[in-house]
């Protein structure tokens, strides 16, 4: 394991800074707050933390509209606070990753202010400007991911600018060499400061077709899907030129890395598997981990999951390392989608598959989507397309630490309401319960650290029937079998001889491999050497 990059045997933990821990009573989480909770993360057993954006921003999209790439938003603290957090994390053996937002900036970024000032501005071409169509409307039919045209008219210069998201998030023009150099310098700035890597926001979006043709109409579009799906994003995303940019980013990361202390790049890419694999690069010159989001929306069916795992593993290029995600700041929480019992099974799946898993803050507690009253909605996506269930506020509610006022998250009024069950489902309550979701995560993460087969071993799917998904992990002759009952009834299972070492359910472990899994049970078995 020591010869491998650290991120291959690691578990990543995503922190949404707004919601993790507030230190100054303004109701918004901050860097000093995160620093006070590092020991919790060490005890949990994760290896690295990824912070969603913390850069100066007007917060039209909660930090994904960056107004300055090389500083810290005062809501979260200062560069000195960041340096202190980084040093504290490293002192505890934790890596720290930042969120790089390369597709767009804020419309208040000085670059865009200058670009917008005149058609003759030296930075005009740092963003994507086009003349109106013949009828005076937008240049093409591209649609923002938040609904409405992906173009906004600027009356002063009589052109439209492109924005894949809000109009306050103008798209950067990565075809311009000066812009490209400036953005790559952002990576160098933070790497030089000591960060261990980046999650790269909407990587597949950052280059658009040079001729800006219309996107194909989606004949199966339903308004309930959200307006962005009215067209197929054929020409506005996933262009061939993006891979050269990813290679440049990779070269910078590799240049700052050294043996035993690699830097890592993780790409946010929502694409089918065969297109996702291209982001590894032809010879390992792409991102290290193109995020694999399949589990988030997967049908909770054992046979479907087995096929998905097999097809994903088979698609990996030589040297490509797998990764898995159950939830994030944009998608419904696992416990909401699957219920509390199967959320435990899903956690065992996530943390025992081959590859690098990412945990979303609070999922280790079994947090569910919060209920946001209409007058407390903050998410621009929900405000623009209300009633479709696309809002992201419910998965961004504050972390519940205890049953004190405001759940120990803040002394003030939280920026979003707490989840409905925070008095019972919080860190303090679950820490004292050996059968809690938190206890299960700690046990799973401890096993990953103790058993190389679970961290970096090979995977082999085992024959199973009905609601049972089973697979073996193996490393240097050590064999571990994971058997998951995805159903609510007892299920027969044929397991090799061995010793059960962890179940998702209460009660004593059987002395040998059982022939039946209990309803909603996940089981980890250490296979006998003679089996």
Q: Would you please indicate which residues are annotated as catalytic (active-site) residues?
A: 201, 268
Residue whose C-alpha is closest to residue 267's, from 461, 103, 112, 151: 103
What's the farthest any 2 CA atoms get from each other in the chain?
Answer: 78
DSSP labels, 3-33: TS-GGGS--EEEE-GGGT--SSSSSS--HHH
Within 10 Å of residue 191's Cβ, how many Cβ atoms? 19
Within 10 Å of residue 98's Cβ, how many Cβ atoms? 23
Within 10 Å of residue 22's Cβ, how many Cβ atoms? 25
Q: Are 400 and 419 in contact (CB under 8 A)?
A: yes
Q: Are 485 and 468 in contact (CB under 8 A)?
A: yes
CA distance 309 to 445: 21
CA distance 118 to 132: 16
Q: Are 292 and 285 in contact (CB under 8 A)?
A: no
CA distance 247 to 279: 9
* 3-state secondary structure (DSSP) of residue 498: strand
């Amino acid at each position: 394991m020591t010869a491998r990059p650290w991120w291959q045997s690691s578990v990543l933990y995503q922190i949404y800074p707004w919601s993790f821990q507030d230190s100054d009573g303004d109701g918004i989480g901050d860097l000093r707050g995160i620093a006070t909770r590092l020991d919790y993360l060490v005890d949990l057993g994760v290896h690295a933390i990824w912070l969603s954006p913390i850069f100066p921003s007007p917060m039209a999209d909660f930090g994904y509209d960056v107004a300055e790439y090389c500083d810290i938003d005062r809501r979260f603290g200062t560069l000195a606070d960041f340096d202190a957090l980084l040093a504290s994390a490293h002192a505890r053996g934790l890596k720290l990753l930042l969120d790089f937002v390369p597709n767009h900036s804020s419309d208040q970024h000085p670059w865009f202010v200058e670009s917008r000032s005149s058609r003759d501005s030296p930075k005009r071409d740092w963003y994507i400007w086009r003349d109106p169509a013949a009828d005076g409307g937008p240049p093409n039919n591209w649609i923002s991911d938040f609904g409405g045209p992906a173009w906004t008219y600027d009356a002063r210069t009589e052109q439209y600018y492109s924005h894949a998201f809000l109009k306050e998030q103008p798209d950067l023009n990565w075809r311009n060499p000066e812009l490209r150099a400036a953005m790559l310098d952002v990576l160098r700035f933070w790497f030089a400061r000591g960060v261990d890597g980046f999650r790269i926001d909407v990587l597949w979006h950052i280059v658009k077709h040079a001729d800006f043709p219309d996107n194909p109409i989606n004949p199966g579009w339903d308004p309930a899907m959200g307006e962005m799906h009215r067209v197929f994003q054929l020409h506005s995303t996933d262009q061939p030129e993006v891979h050269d940019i990813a290679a440049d980013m990779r070269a910078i990361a590799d240049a700052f890395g050294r043996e035993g202390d690699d830097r890592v790049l993780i790409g946010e890419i929502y694409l089918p598997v065969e297109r996702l694999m291209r982001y590894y690069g032809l010879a390992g010159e792409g991102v290290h981990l193109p995020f694999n989001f399949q589990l988030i929306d997967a049908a909770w069916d054992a046979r479907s999951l087995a096929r998905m795992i097999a097809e994903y593993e088979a698609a990996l290029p030589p040297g490509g390392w797998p990764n898995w995600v159950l939830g994030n700041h944009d998608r419904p929480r696992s416990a909401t989608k699957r219920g509390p019992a199967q959320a435990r099974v899903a956690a065992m799946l996530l943390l025992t598959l081959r590859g690098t898993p990412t945990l979303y803050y609070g999922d280790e507690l079994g947090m569910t989507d919060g209920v946001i009253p209409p007058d407390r909605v903050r998410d621009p996506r929900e405000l623009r397309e209300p009633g479709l269930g696309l809002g992201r506020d419910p998965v961004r509610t504050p972390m519940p630490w205890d049953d004190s006022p405001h759940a120990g998250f803040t002394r003030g009024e939280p920026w979003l309401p707490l989840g409905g069950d925070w008095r019972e489902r919080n860190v303090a309550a679950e820490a004292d319960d050996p059968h809690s979701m938190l206890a299960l995560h700690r046990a799973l993460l401890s096993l990953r650290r103790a058993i190389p087969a679970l961290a970096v071993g090979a995977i082999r799917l085992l024959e199973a029937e009905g609601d049972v998904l089973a697979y073996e992990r193996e490393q240097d002759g050590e064999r571990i079998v994971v058997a998951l009952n995805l159903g609510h009834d007892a299920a027969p299972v044929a397991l090799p001889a061995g010793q059960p070492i962890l179940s998702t359910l209460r009660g004593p472990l059987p002395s040998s491999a059982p022939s039946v899994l209990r309803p909603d049970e996940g089981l980890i078995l250490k296979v006998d050497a003679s089996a």
